């Protein structure tokens, strides 16, 4: 059943590629805007690089979340999900996993190229990719909770307001991991903290999102 949900999301993304690629496009654009605005100071760019990439990833995830539950709400599919004998928590988890593959995996793959713009070294890029691999699922899980809580509300500011405070710990740990690598310090602690955030989010967010969806459809 969960595979069916996962494959359906991938199929829908294939049928509407522009929606799926919007997050990637946004990510690349924002990352490229900073060097244009700040100027070519190499040392400065190397210092702010990890932070900029991370914030752009967070904003790209935020942009993509608007398509997570809204289409299903609009065409009535969400009601059928609630009425299904399958546990809603599992269905939400499968949907979020598919959303991560569609929206975030391209970001993680594009990150090394963008890191070149900021002059980050080879090992740092590896750390960046590892941190993004651990951190973006957490962001998507938290975003799914935010999207479920604010389902049906006009405008997207509330989603950002709800999601961003909870996203700060993964953001901070992710940047700390990459900055530590840049300075030659061990990044293991920050990566472990990222992993811990992911474990906690993976355990709690699908369940809380399911509760929020039930509340939204009452």
Partner 1 sequence: MTHELTTGSLPAPLRRPAPRWRRLASPPVFHGFAGRLVPGFAGLATVLALAGLWVGFAIAPTDHQQGEIYRIIFIHVPAAWMSMFIYLVAALHAGLGLVFGTRLSPLMSRALAPTGALFTVIALWTGAAWGKPTWGAWWVWDARLTSELILLFLYLAYLGLVSAFEDPRRGDGAGAILLLAGVVNVPIIYFSVRWWSTLHQGSTIRLDAAPAMTHTMLAGMLLMALACWAYTMAVALARVRCLITERAALEAQS
Partner 2 sequence: MPSPDAELRLSARGLRCRRGGRRVFAGLSFELRPGEVLELRGANGSGKTSLLRLLAGLAQPSGGALHWQGRPLLPGDAAYACDMAYLGHLNGVNADLTAAENLHFAQRLAGGAGACADPAAALQAWGLAALAAQPARRLSQGQRRRLALARVWMGRRRLWLLDEPCAALDSAGERLFDTRLAEHLQAGGAAIVATHHALTVPSAHLRRLDLDALAPC
Positions touching partner 2 (CB under 8 A) are 1, 4, 8, 11-12, 15-16, 71-72, 74-77, 79-86, 217-218
Binding-site partner at residue 77 among partner 2, partner 1, none, CB < 5 to 8 Å by type: partner 2
Q: What is the DSSP letter of 69?
A: S
> Residue 161 CB, nearest distance to partner 1 (Å)?
5
Compute the least distance from the CB of residue 156 to partner 1, in Å.
12
Cα of 43 vs its chain's centroid, Å = 28
CB within 8 A of 120, min separation 6: which ones? 46, 49, 50, 128, 178, 182
- Which of the choices partner 2, partner 1, none does residue 150 contact, using the CB cut-off of 5 to 8 A by kind? partner 1
Q: Any contact of residue 138 with partner 1 (CB under 8 A)?
A: no
Residue 66 has a CB neighbour count (10 Å cut-off) of 16
102 contacts which partner out of partner 1, partner 2, none, CB within 5 to 8 A by kind? none
Identify what 122 binds: partner 1, partner 2, none; CB under 5 to 8 Å per kind.
none
Rounded Cα distance between 23 and 16, Å, is: 13
DSSP state of 218: -
CB of 93 to partner 1, least distance (A): 16
Helix runs in the chain, H state only:
2-15, 17-38, 42-65, 70-75, 77-83, 88-103, 105-117, 122-149, 157-182, 188-216
Q: Which residues bind partner 1 (CB under 8 A)?
A: 145, 149-150, 153, 158, 161-162, 164-166, 168-169, 172, 200, 204-205, 208, 211-212, 215-216, 218
């Amino acid at each position: 059943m969960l595979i069916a949900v996962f494959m359906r999301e991938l199929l829908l993304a294939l049928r509407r590629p522009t929606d799926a690629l919007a997050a990637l496009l946004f990510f690349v654009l924002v990352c490229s805007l900073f060097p244009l605005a700040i100027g070519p100071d190499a040392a400065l760019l190397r210092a702010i690089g990890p932070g900029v990439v991370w914030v752009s990833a967070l904003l790209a995830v935020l942009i993509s979340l608007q398509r997570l539950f809204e289409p299903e709400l609009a065409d009535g599919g969400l009601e059928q999900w609630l009425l299904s004998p399958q546990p809603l928590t599992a269905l939400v988890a499968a949907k979020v996993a598919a959303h991560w593959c569609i929206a975030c995996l391209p970001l993680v793959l594009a990150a090394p190229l963008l890191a070149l713009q900021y002059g980050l070294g080879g090992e740092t890029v590896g750390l960046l990719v590892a941190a993004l691999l651990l951190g973006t699922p957490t962001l998507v899980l938290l975003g799914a909770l935010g999207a479920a809580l604010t389902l049906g509300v006009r405008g997207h500011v509330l989603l950002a307001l709800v999601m961003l405070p909870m996203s700060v710990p993964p953001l901070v740990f992710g940047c700390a991991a990459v900055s530590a690598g840049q300075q030659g310090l061990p990044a293991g602690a920050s990566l472990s903290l990222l992993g811990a955030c992911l474990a906690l989010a993976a355990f709690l967010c699908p369940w809380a999102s399911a509760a929020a969806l039930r509340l939204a459809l009452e």
